[in-house]
Structure 1
Amino acid sequence: MASAPVSSIVLSVFLVFIATVSAQTAPAPAPSGPLNFTAILDKNGQYTYFLRFLADTQVGSQVQNQLNTTSEGFTVFAPTDNAFNNLKPGLINSLDPQKKVQLVLYHVLPKYYSLNDLQFVSNPVRTQATSQNGASFGLNFTGQNNQVNVSSGMVETLVNNALYQKKPLAVYQVDKVLLPEGLFEANSPAAAPSPATKKASGSKSNSTASSTAGEPAAADNSGSMGRNMGMGLVLVLALACMGFLS
């Protein structure tokens, strides 16, 4: 009868031993995968157009490749599909491929900023977009109590939703496409001739006209002189005849 409790004790000790060994030999949980920038946008939906531009311009892969090596991080402003739909028809298609790249890069800051950080930055804040001479296109931020507005000079909108906010990456929703003035400024018209040029041209024309008009005038004066000399000879001859007759 006493063997039953002993067997139970032995069995319990054996089970505890097996559990301990299993815990020691079981593989450790796999580490979480790397941060996936575009997956954040895809998961939240309503960023179809922006995701397409990120893929077409390869900006998305550039940001993704640098996320694991950057010490500064990135801040991305993601326009919604409605933001793209509200643009003037044909505006984006009017850009050449290089300008489309610059437009997407204009939505990326080469540093991690929390919403609180954006309230106290020194404007303008440098973006990844640059002009042809290498100057950076900037954005201006104003805000209070974690409500931040972003302005490009052409567009101003609220930064109203943090899709992801953990260093090295912050992704914020914006309801307008940020349009940099450097890409969308109107082409300057061809320079018209200056008033001085017009005046000089007019003076030259007048001078030519006067010179041309002066030639007939000189011919007319010569004709008048010839007629006067002829009349003088006639008068002299008449007087001579009168003297001879007398």
Structure 2
Amino acid sequence: MASTSLLLILLTLTSTLFVLTPQTQAQTAPAPAPAGPLNLTGILDKAGQYTTFIRLLNETQQITQLQSQLNSTTEGFSVFAPTDNAFQNLKAGTINDLTDDQKVKLILYHVTPKYYTLTQLLTVSNPVRTQASGSEGSWGLNFTGQGNQVNVSSGVVTTQINNALRQQFPLAVYQVDKVLLPSELFGAKSPASAPAPKTSAPTPSGENSDHNSTSGAPSSPSTNQPGDAPGRNMGLGLVVGLGLICTGALF
């Protein structure tokens, strides 16, 4: 009888342990770590071949702005990242000749203030506004294509979007094999912005007339030239002398 009671107690304790163990494990298991903030530089660095674009993002301090806005945006961002070869294929001095403000504009021109998938880029209303837009106007990109091919044009260059480094809201990062040069910085200058041709200063009207009168035909001699007075006096004296001689002869 005692052994039966002991067996029942052991069975009761064993069943209790099986029931409590999963709950205890669930309570003591560590919670999953929260997802960290998006790191655009890390995405580009992991993909490789974006050293120049990363450097310009840091030099212009736009990486800090984008990282901050990624944590609060409701629209997301799309980044079109030129490869190192894209920058190397530019004409020498293209980037170095830009001012600091123009470099900022160039970097922001590669970012749209909205998240787009490749499929959405085929149906967007062109031009698509970029982060470079401001009070002076909208710096836009144009997207065309069909199927799986999407082309992007700045008005100066056109290239194909070849690879999606990331395509998950709120950030899309796409590879482009050409630097997207905005027409606002690299387009043909309007005639109004060209320097006016140099012209000689107009000559005053009086100066021309005086110059012509002195450098042209010689002026007529004056009626009262200083050198004429001795000649006239000599001739008059000669006439008077002859008159006196003739008068003496008569007497």
TM over 0.5: yes
Shift, 1:221, TM fit:
8.8
Shift, 1:7, TM fit:
4.0
Shift, 1:35, TM fit:
2.1
> Aligned partners of 2:152 and 2:206: how far apart in 1?
56
Is the contact made by 1:128 and 1:136 (CA closer than 8 Å) also made in structure 2?
no
| Aligned pair partner of 1:212 in 211, 214, 230 | 214
Is the contact made by 1:119 and 1:146 (CA closer than 8 Å) also made in structure 2?
no
Amino acid in the other structure paired with 2:128:
V
- Aligned pair 1:92/2:95, yes or no? yes
Amino acid in the other structure paired with 2:37:
P
Instruction: Tell me the SS of whatever aligns to 1:216.
Output: coil
Instruction: Tell me the SS of whatever aligns to 1:64.
Output: helix
Q: Which has the larger radius of gyration?
A: 2
| Aligned pair partner of 1:175 in 177, 199, 209 | 177
| Aligned equivalent of 1:137 | 139
| Aligned pair partner of 2:197 in 167, 192, 200 | 192
Q: Per the alignment, do residues 151 and 222 of structure 1 end up closer, same or farther by CA in structure 2, a change over 3 Å counting?
A: farther
> Aligned partners of 1:31 and 1:90: how far apart in 2?
45
> Aligned partners of 2:151 and 2:62: how far apart in 1?
24
Q: Give CA deviations for 1:216-243 in whole Å, capped at 9, x if unaligned.
A: 33x25969xxxxxx9xxxxxxxxxxxxx
Point out where structure 1 has 5 or more consecutive residues left out of the alignment: 224-229, 231-246
| Aligned equivalent of 1:148 | 150
61-70 vs 185-194, greater mean Cα deviation: 185-194
Q: Give CA deviations for 1:56-95 in whole Å, capped at 9, x if unaligned.
A: 1111111110112112211110011111121122211111
Instruction: Tell me the SS of whatever aligns to 1:141.
Output: strand
Shift, 1:107, TM fit:
0.4
| Aligned pair partner of 1:30 in 3, 12, 33 | 33
For residues 228-239 of structure 1, what are the structure 2 equivalents within 5 Å? Answer: none
Q: Percent identity?
A: 57
Is the contact made by 2:156 and 2:187 (CA closer than 8 Å) also made in structure 1?
no
Q: TM-score, normalised by structure 1?
A: 0.76
- Number of matched pairs: 225
| Aligned pair partner of 1:126 in 98, 108, 129 | 129
> Aligned partners of 1:118 and 1:7: how far apart in 2?
69
> Aligned partners of 1:127 and 1:28: how far apart in 2?
40
Q: Per the alignment, do residues 17 and 43 of structure 1 end up closer, same or farther by CA in structure 2, a change over 3 Å counting?
A: same
Q: Per the alignment, do residues 94 and 193 of structure 1 end up closer, same or farther by CA in structure 2, a change over 3 Å counting?
A: closer
> Aligned partners of 1:153 and 1:204: how far apart in 2?
54
Shift, 1:16, TM fit:
3.7
> Aligned partners of 1:82 and 1:12: how far apart in 2?
68
> Aligned partners of 1:32 and 1:46: how far apart in 2?
26
Is the contact made by 2:79 and 2:111 (CA closer than 8 Å) also made in structure 1?
yes
Q: Per the alignment, do residues 145 and 222 of structure 1 end up closer, same or farther by CA in structure 2, a change over 3 Å counting?
A: farther
> Aligned partners of 1:45 and 1:143: how far apart in 2?
27
Point out where structure 2 has 5 or more consecutive residues left out of the alignment: 225-231, 233-251
